Chain A
Amino acid sequence: MISASCAAPALRRLFWPALALVCVLLSNLLFAPGFFRIEIRDGHLYGSLIDVLNRGTPVLLAGLGMTLVIATAGVDLSVGAVAAIAGTVAALLITRTEAGLLTIVTVPLCVALLAGLCNGLLVVGAGLQPIVATLVLMVAGRGVAQLLGRGQIITFEHAGFETIGGGYLAGLPCTVSIVAAAYVLAGLLTRRTALGLFIESARDSPTASYYAGVPVGAVKLFAYAFSGFCAGLAGLIVASDIKAADANNAGLYLELDAILAVVIGGTALTGGRFSLSGTVLGALIIQTVTTTILTRGVPVEYTLVVKALAVLGVCLLQSAGLRRRLRGSAVPQ
C-alpha cells in the first residue's frame, strides 16, 4: 500500500500498522475486558497495558536499531548476542568491581557500540553480505558472553541498576522512559539531521547517491553502530529486569522479533522509506498479541507460529512479486 505521492507520507504509511494495533486492542476489549484495567499502587501504574509496554522494551529498542540497518538494505542478526554480552558485562562490573552506576551502564553500551561498528566495518570495508557479517557475531558473540560469564548465570543485587529494569519514574516503568528517550534520540538523529535523507537516498539508489556526494559507507557504519548500541541497551534492561545475566537465554530470538517489528511497522526489506514510528507500533502489536495469548491461557508455543505466519503474510503483501501477479503480469511479452 505505497501511497501515490509523498504528501502526508509519514501518517499514511502508519495507517496499516496503526489499524492492526487498534484491531488487536479492540479484540482484547471484547474478549478480555480486564486487559485495559489500570490500577495505581504505591504511586505506580499497574495493569496489562503497562505490562505490554514494559515487556516489549527489549524488542522496541532492538527494533529501533534494526529499522536503520534494514533501511540501509542490510540486516543485523547479532542483536541477541550483543544484548547477552552487554548484560554479562554489566553483571561482571557489579559483582566483581566497585564501579559506580554510571560506569556499569556506560561500559556495556560502549562494548555494544563497538560490536556494532565491527559489523559495519565488515559490511562496508570488507564488502561482506550483511547476513554473513552479522552471523559471525551471532555465533561467536554468545560464546564470548558465556566465556565472560564462565558459563554461569550471574546474579547480582544493585539497587541503582535494578531501577533500570524494574524501577518506576513518574508512575511509569523506567523502561518506558528509556525507550521513549531512545525513540526521541533516533528520531532526532534521523529527521533533525540529514542522516535520514542520506539513509533513504542511499537505499533507493546507491549509485546516484554516491555520485551526488552522499557518504554511503559512513551512513551504513552509523546504522550498524546504532543497532549495536540499541541491542546493548536492550541487554541492560533484560539483565536488570531478571537481576541476572544469562548468557544463554538473554535476548534469545530478539533479532527475529526485531525484524518482525520492523516489517510489520511498514519498513519493507526490499526498499523504500523507513519509519521508526512504524517499528514502535509493530513492536507494540507483537507484544500485545503475545500478552493476549498468554493471558488467555493459550500456550506460549503458539506465539512462535503466529509470529512466523505474520511475518510471511506481511512480507507477501509487501512483495513486488505478489503485486505483479495480482495485476496479471503487465510485463510486455
Chain B
Amino acid sequence: MGENALLELRGICKSFPGVCALNNVDFTLARGEIHALLGQNGAGKSTLIKVLTGVCRRDAGVILLDGQPIHPRSPRHAEELGIRTVYQEIGLVPHLSVAENLLLGHQPGNRLWINWKQTHRRAAQLLREIDLDIDVRLPLAHFPVAVQQMIAISRALYTPADGQLSRRPTRVLVLDEPTSSLAPAEVERLFAILRQLRDRGLGIIFISHFVEQVYAISDRITVLRNGQRVVTAPAASLGRVELLAHMLGHELASVQAVEPTARGASADAQAGPVLVRARGLGRRGALAPTNLEIRRGEVVGLAGLLGSGRTELARLLFGIDRADTGSLEIDGQPVRLGSPRQAIARGLGLCPEDRQAEGMIPNLSVRENVVLALQARRGWWRRLPGRRQRELAARFIDALRIANVDPDKRASELSGGNQQKILLARWLAADPRLLILDEPTRGIDVGAKAEIERLIQQLCRQGLAVLFTSCALEEVARNAHRVLVLRERRKVGELTGPQVSLSAILHLIATGVECD
C-alpha cells in the first residue's frame, strides 16, 4: 500500500482470558476506499473494530493513521483522532430532535445559551450535504430507521469548524452492520452516499454479512476467520464461492469436487408422516415467505450464513415471533403460535442460538436448568420431587457424557460446550416431538460434537424430528436427510437425499443458483 495508505493496522494481537481473539492481523485502508470486513461469529471482526475505536486496548501491534502511530484510548479519543463509528443500534436519542442529535455537545452558542436558530440551520445544511431534506425540528423517532442511520452518519462526519482544534476531521468511517434493518431501496440510497464520501477521499470500513451488498459497494474485501486474516482481495477478483470457502475454512479445491456423503446417500426409510408443515411462512423484515416440511424421525438442516434468516425461521416456528404471512400446520391441524408456551404444548422445543442470554438461566443450578422445561410443561402445581429431578439430571449428564459436573453447581460456571449439552438435556427431558436446534455445535469441541450428533441420530430413529441450523456446512451435509438453503432472508433451495453434499450447499449459498 505504501504512501497512499490512510490507515494501517499491523500485527494486531488481542487475547481475552481463555481465548485468543486476534492473532497477528494486518489490515490496511486506502484513501478513498470502501473496504469490507467479513467473518462469521467469533472470527474477530468486532474485536478488531474495538481495538481500532478505542473500546479495548490491543496486546501487540501498531496502528498508523496517515503514517503516524496512534493509540486510541477511548471511543471519544478515537473520534478526536478522526475515526468515527456508526453503530448498528444507531446510538442516537429517539425523543430529541434531529438537529439536536446531530449537534448534541457541539451546539452553536455557549454554556449558558443555545442558539437554536443557528443549530437548526447548521443541521439542515449538514443533511443537505448527504442529500437529505427533512424538517430537523422533528424528533428522531419520527423518521424511519434508514433516515436515522443517515443522520447518525452525518453526526459521525460532523466536525465543528470553530474553536475545537483537538477534533480532527473525519478520516475513517466505520459502519457496523448498517443495512440490517433497511429495505433494498434504502440500501441503495445509503450506498450512493457512501460512494460520494469515498470520492471525497474518506476511508470507509464496511462490516456486513450480506454478501451481495458487500460485492455491490466494496472496493476490497478482507475475510477474518478464527482471529486471523485469511484473505484480502479486490472485490472484482474474488469469486463468491471462493469467498465463502475462505469464510468457512474449506479448501477451494475440495469444495469444487463433488463428494457423496454417507447420510445423503442413504435415502430415508425411517421418515414418517409429516409433523410440521409451513406454507408461505414469513415475517416482514425477517424472512421472506417460506415453505417447509418436517417429518417424524427426520433430520432437516437449515444451511446458510449468519443473517440468512435461519434464526428468524426458528423463532417463527417456535412462536417467539408472529408471522405476517403464511400458515403453519402441526399434525395436520392449522395452528397460530403466539408464544413459546403454545409451541411447547404442541411438542416443540428450541435450543436458541444465544446460549447465554436466551438459553441458560445462569444463577440456577445445573439440575434446575435441566428440569425447567419439563416442569414448566407440568405446571406449577405438580412439582417434580427432588429425587426425580436428581435422577433426570444424572441420566442426561450421563447420556450426554458431560464430565465432571456437579448438578448443584451454578450453570454459569460450566464451559460453553457443557452449557450447550445442558440446554439439550433440558429439551430432551421435556420429550418433544420436534426439536429445533439453532447452531447447536458452535463452540463445542470435536468429541462433544460427535456425541451430540450420535444422540440426535438415535433419537430420530425413535421418532423425534429435528430441525437444526449450522454454519458448519459439512455437519449439515453429514447429518441431515434434507437441507434447506437460506440466503439473505429467503429460501433459495432444498436438497434431498443424494443431492445433499457440501459443494451443492456451498453453491446454493454463494450464488442462489442450484448447480448439478
Interface residues, chain A, with chain B CB atoms under 8 Å away: 5-7, 192-195, 197-198, 200-201, 204-205, 207-215, 218, 271-273, 332-333
Contacts and interface: CB of A to CB of B under 8 A. Distances in A.
Contact of A211 (B340, B362, B410): B340
Nearest to B73: A333
Residue among A211, A212, A215, A218 facing the most chain B CB atoms (10 A cut-off): A212
A204 B361 CA distance: 6
A195 to B, nearest CB: 5
Given A6-B365, A272-B363, A194 B410 contact: no
B361 A205 contact: yes
A52 to B, nearest CB: 33
Contacts of B379: 194
Nearest to B339: A210
Nearest to A203: B363
A201 B426 CA distance: 14
Contacts of A218: 380
B409 A5 contact: yes
A215 B376 contact: yes
Contacts of B16: 332
B360 A205 contact: yes
Interface residues of B, number: 40
A194 B386 CA distance: 11
Contact of A212 (B365, B372, B383, B413): B372
A6 B361 CA distance: 14
A194 B363 contact: no
B344 A208 contact: no
A7 B413 CA distance: 14
B383 A205 contact: no
A194 B368 CA distance: 11
B320 interface: yes
Interface stretch (B259-267, B351-359, B445-453): B351-359
B1 to A, nearest CB: 30
A221 to B, nearest CB: 12
23 contacts: A5-B413, A6-B408, A193-B383, A194-B376, A194-B380, A200-B364, A201-B361, A201-B368, A204-B363, A205-B357, A207-B358, A208-B358, A208-B361, A211-B350, A211-B358, A211-B359, A213-B344, A213-B373, A213-B377, A214-B376, A215-B380, A332-B16, A333-B57
Contacts of A272: 363
Contact of B359 (A197, A208, A271): A208
Nearest to B375: A194
A258 B380 CA distance: 27
Residue among A192, A194, A215 facing the most chain B CB atoms (10 A cut-off): A194
A195 B74 CA distance: 46
Given A5-B408, A6-B408, A6-B409, A204 B362 contact: yes
B378 A207 contact: no
Given A212-B372, A271-B363, A272-B363, 15 more contacts: A5-B406, A7-B408, A193-B381, A194-B375, A194-B383, A194-B384, A197-B364, A197-B372, A198-B380, A201-B368, A201-B372, A204-B361, A208-B361, A209-B361, A215-B341
B241 interface: no
Contact of B352 (A195, A211, A271, A273): A211
Contacts of B377: 213
A43 B89 CA distance: 71
B56 interface: yes
A332 B56 contact: yes
